[in-house]
Amino acid sequence: QRLRSYEAGRILAAYGKLLQYESSWSLSRDVHETLIAYAWSADDEERLLDSMLMVGFCHRMLGQLDEAREAYRVLREAASELHSEQYLLLSELGFAKVAAERGNLPAAAGMLDRILRKTCGGDHETVRSKALMDRARVATQLGDHATAAVLGHQAFECSTDPFDRDRILVNIGMTLT
């Protein structure tokens, strides 16, 4: 029964991610909100935290920044309760993204710099790569293209995800252009 529950959660999570790739943010958010309720009952901590992160992401993509901030706050509380350093860092990354989208670039840069200091020891390379990528984007928005190119290159070297690596290369190319 427990194995079937995990399998059902995995399939539903894959469907939610597919909806994100199709930019169906509202539907994806609904799927991940359903997964949150499921994960609590199935005691699936990883699925719970990942779905909470995805709900915040979907709200952000929909331009619902207050709701995104609240979703990242709930994620931070759950990650703290479950002692997940990775998802604590990802919630902080979410807060930085919301600040950047609201136009508070100095605050976003400060938050991202703190995340980069916390991840400089080799742990959490995925989070570090995402933070470097976002910090490069903020540097570009602040007009510091040289720093953006260097940070983009560092993000590329940290990243192992092919999709993220392609996006990083596009960002570096845009910065250099």
Q: What pLDDT was estimated at residue 28? A: 92
Round the CA-based radius of gyration of the chain to a whole number and report it. 16
Does residue 32 or residue 7 have the better pLDDT?
32
Q: Judge whether residue 138 has pLDDT over 90.
A: yes
100, 116 Cβ separation under 8 angstroms: no
At 92, the amino acid letter reads E
Place of tokens 């290159």: 153
In the chain, alpha helices (H) = 2-21, 25-42, 45-61, 65-81, 85-101, 105-118, 125-141, 145-158, 162-176
Instruction: Give the global pTM.
Output: 0.89
Handedness of CA 37, 31, 17, 97 (dihedral sign): negative
- A 10 A CB-CB count for 17 gives 15
Q: Judge whether residue 5 has pLDDT over 80.
A: no
Place of tokens 């699925």: 47
Q: What pLDDT was estimated at residue 42? A: 75
Q: What is the mean pLDDT of the chain?
A: 92
Does residue 141 or residue 5 have the better pLDDT?
141
Q: Judge whether residue 122 has pLDDT over 80.
A: no
**CA distances (Å), origin 43, targets 10, 60, 70, 85:** 14, 27, 23, 19
Q: What pLDDT was estimated at residue 4? A: 61
- How far is 140 from 58, CA to CA, in rounded Å? 24
Residues 16-62: tens digit of each pLDDT: 889 988 899 999 999 999 989 888 777 788 889 999 999 999 999 99
- How far is 153 from 133, CA to CA, in rounded Å? 9
Grade residue 79 by pLDDT with cuts at 50, 70 and 90. very high
